[in-house]
């Protein structure tokens, strides 16, 4: 298995209320092709900051992120966006769906923005809605869907461009227990099909759905379930 993601010595600092905050303090990790990795830890430990840096949504203070062979360091916003569109699918906690569009249009638009012809984009969107048991909801707005259905729709949108890496930020955080179980089962199916997934969650029970778990605290990776002993990353 080759590396899809390589993070080395990643640091992120910013100011809050005039005070410096070190959100990430030298994080290093690898995600290999086909892996399902969860990053777990309490709120404020740096999980979402890590995910935003991996996606190229934000820039690091130091260190490096190499995504599918492309270093994000030194890239401007447009270059990072191009790499993100080519390689990343992003699933958010609160869905981030467009309520003024139908379910089908939400998925189609993501493919059109990535440069695909509308007819091809819509065909791919229809296949995904069928796969995720949402085909009968294609003409409905997202607002009429249940929480679990809305997150499945968000996952369909994230998958429509066949991403190298699927990122998920607290994907069960806005769901009840039934919806959370539904989404985690879908992630397992995607993983079984070869999709590479990096998920962050504060809930250790959700993290257990992954094949490997990294535990974060205070801006550092503290332990890796694949290692015999806990370790501290960075200084």
pLDDT at residue 232, as a whole number = 44
Above pLDDT 90, what percent of the chain? 77
Q: Which of 55, 62, 118, 117 is nearest to 90 (CA)?
A: 55
User: Does residue 2 carry a pLDDT above 90?
Assistant: no
Place of tokens 């490096």: 64
Residue, of 230 and 20, whose pLDDT is higher: 20
Distance of CA 194 to the CA centre of its chain: 16
Cα–Cα distance for residue pair 116/102, rounded to 1 Å: 19
Instruction: Return the axis-axis angle of helices 118-131 and 147-159, rounded to nearest 10°.
Output: 140
Give 42-55 pLDDT, tens digit per residue: 988 999 999 999 99
**Pure H helices in the chain:** 47-54, 77-87, 103-113, 118-131, 147-159, 177-192, 204-207
Cβ contact 42:217 at 8 Å: yes
User: Does residue 229 carry a pLDDT above 60?
Assistant: no
pTM over 0.85: yes
Q: Which of 85, 77, 53, 81 is nearest to 66 (CA)?
A: 53
Give 134-153 pLDDT, tens digit per residue: 999 999 999 999 999 999 99
Place of tokens 């509308």: 118
Above pLDDT 70, what percent of the chain? 96
Place of tokens 């759905």: 209
pLDDT at residue 15, as a whole number = 83
Instruction: Name the average pLDDT for the chain.
Output: 91
User: Does residue 117 carry a pLDDT above 80?
Assistant: yes
Cα–Cα distance for residue pair 9/229, rounded to 1 Å: 20
Cα–Cα distance for residue pair 140/100, rounded to 1 Å: 10
Backbone angles phi, psi at 42, to 5 degrees: -70, 160
Of the candidate CATH numbers 3.30.413.10, 3.40.50.300, 1.20.1440.230, 3.40.50.2300, the domain formed by 33-60+75-211 belongs to 3.40.50.300
pLDDT at residue 228, as a whole number = 57
Q: Which of 19, 96, 10, 18 is nearest to 51 (CA)?
A: 10
User: Does residue 93 carry a pLDDT above 60?
Assistant: yes
Place of tokens 């379930």: 225
Residue, of 188 and 95, whose pLDDT is higher: 188
Domain boundaries, the chain: 33-60+75-211
Confidence of residue 1 (pLDDT cuts 50, 70, 90): low
Using CA atoms, how far residue 92 sits from 89, 173, 195, 197, 231, in Å, is 10, 9, 17, 13, 29
């Amino acid at each position: 298995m080759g590396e899809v993601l390589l993070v080395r010595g990643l640091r992120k600092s910013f100011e809050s209320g005039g005070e410096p905050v070190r959100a990430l303090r030298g994080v290093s990790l690898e995600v290999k092709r086909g892996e399902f990795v969860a990053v777990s830890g309490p709120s404020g430990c740096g999980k979402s900051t890590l995910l935003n840096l991996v996606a190229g949504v934000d820039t690091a203070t130091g260190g490096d992120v190499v995504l599918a062979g492309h270093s994000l360091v030194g890239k401007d916003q447009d270059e990072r966006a191009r790499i993100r569109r080519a390689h990343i699918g992003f699933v958010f906690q609160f869905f981030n769906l467009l309520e003024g569009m139908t379910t089908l249009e939400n998925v189609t638009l993501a493919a059109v923005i990535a440069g695909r012809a509308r007819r091809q984009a819509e065909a791919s969107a229809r296949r995904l809605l069928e796969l995720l048991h949402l085909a009968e909801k294609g003409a409905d707005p997202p607002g009429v869907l249940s929480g679990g259905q809305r997150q499945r729709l968000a996952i369909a949108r994230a998958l429509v461009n066949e991403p190298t890496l699927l990122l998920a930020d607290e994907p069960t955080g806005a769901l009840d227990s039934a919806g959370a179980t539904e989404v985690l089962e879908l992630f397992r199916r995607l993983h079984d099909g070869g999709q590479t997934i990096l998920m962050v969650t504060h809930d250790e029970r959700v993290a257990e759905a992954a094949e490997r778990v990294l535990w974060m605290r205070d801006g550092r990776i503290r332990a890796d379930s694949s290692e015999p002993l806990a370790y501290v990353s960075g200084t």
